Amino acid sequence: MKNPGQKTLAIVCGGGPAPGINSVISSVTIEAIKSGWDVYGIYDGFSNLAKGEKVFTPLTIDKVSRIYSEGGSILRISRFNPTKSEEYLKNVADTLIEMGVSHLVTIGGDDTAYAASCVADYAKNKRELSINFVHIPKTIDNDLPLPGSIPTFGFESARALGAQIVSNLMVDAKTTGRWFIVVAMGRVAGHLALGIGKSAGATMELIPEEFPSRKKIPLSLVVDIITGSIIKRLASGRNYGVAVTAEGLIEKIRIEDLEAADCLEFDDHGHTRYAEINFSDVLKREVIANLGTLGIKMTINNKELGYEVRCAPPNAFDIEYTRNLGYAAMEFLRKGGTNAMITIQNDTIVPLAFADIMDPVTKKTQIRLVNTKSIQYRIAREYMIRLEKKDFEPGIEFEKLAVAANLSPDEFRKRFQYVTEY
């Protein structure tokens, strides 16, 4: 029989995998048990709770003490959205209450954070019981609204492994005389694609934040930008390269240009299931066809990059970072805190209240996009091989570009100058 004053903590993992989840589970569990709390690890995110099912495991220090360096999640994970119906919210809240849960730690992205907030509100407003909760920001996308340059955990590990993969492709491209088109995960933000490409010294990167207008762009624009990079490399005597693009570009492209692929799917939160669209294959086919109209033959391979990096073991940065976050989350809960996302800023634990970071329209946390005005982006752009406005100034270099494209200077200008206007 549980003591009336006994505190019980539940841990729920939502969204997609990211390196460091197990490290968070480990640190939260250890700190909670040291405080005399019981700890339950909930399997499969909110999915079982929404059905009223108690699918969990009691966590102990022995169970979690050595999992901090492992990839994946010992509790598994799901994208199930309990906010889709009041019945789901009721089942989640009631099941947690029946289990005696007094505190909740969620590990996930913006959707998981929003779901936890709704569950806590339901328990308070409908059951008059408090479930204090804290959210630990997790995503390889790095798109949660953390201050400054603070990353979401998992991003640095994913970036490091992704950069190694792209670096290997760069060597292959040079060795075999070909191009690779890589599409990196990241949802609507380009942090991962830009970070991987910049770290690996890829030939060029292309991210959705370069097209801030709400007006959709034609697929042909993306194709021409990549084609322009290939031509610029050919003009310098190099027939190889790697283009790293962000999957979020899909959101920017006209729907009619993508419908032909007949592969648009959406998850429980209404987001496009990017992984179900072989975007790199689409780009490969379109770029090859585009080059063909210019009489240029080029071997191009494509690669989707994401699953390989999101369940990788966390690197040293993310292990330390996640153990700090787990400790900080428990410190926040022990002091009676609730309804916030935990961060560490300037060596200080700083909880971010959801009311301050919530989008007033969507009622979800705001999305952090790449700042294309930042020095980090400007430096990245300086190292890219892409057609720029200065390339179209009259001179020998401009003429080399036209020759590489099998066009006259006037034809080349008419055909490609527009890509520099974005």
- Residues serving a catalytic function are 141
Q: Please state the φ and ψ torsions of residue 391, each to the nearest 5 degrees.
A: -65, -20
Q: Please state the φ and ψ torsions of residue 229, each to the nearest 5 degrees.
A: -65, -40
Strand 340-345 vs strand 348-353: parallel, antiparallel, or unpaired?
Answer: antiparallel
Q: Where are the alpha helices (DSSP H) in 264-384?
A: 279-293, 307-310, 316-334, 354-357, 375-383
Angle at 163 between CA 158 and CA 164, to 5 degrees: 105
Q: How far apart are CA 31 and CA 50, in angstroms?
A: 28
Strand 241-246 vs strand 179-184: parallel, antiparallel, or unpaired?
Answer: parallel
Q: How far apart are CA 308 and CA 310, in angstroms?
A: 6
Tell me, what amino acid is at 96? L
Q: How far apart are CA 146 and CA 367, in angstroms?
A: 10
E-state strands within 54-110: 56-58, 103-108
Strand 38-42 vs strand 8-13: parallel, antiparallel, or unpaired?
Answer: parallel
CA dist 284 to 61, 72, 229, Å? 49, 31, 14
Spatial neighbors of 332 by CB under 8 A, at least 6 apart, are 134, 340, 342, 349, 351
- For residue 157, give the H/E element and its range: helix 155-176
* Contact indicator for 104, 35 with CB cutoff of 8 Å: no
* Contact indicator for 8, 35 with CB cutoff of 8 Å: no
* Contact indicator for 286, 218 with CB cutoff of 8 Å: no
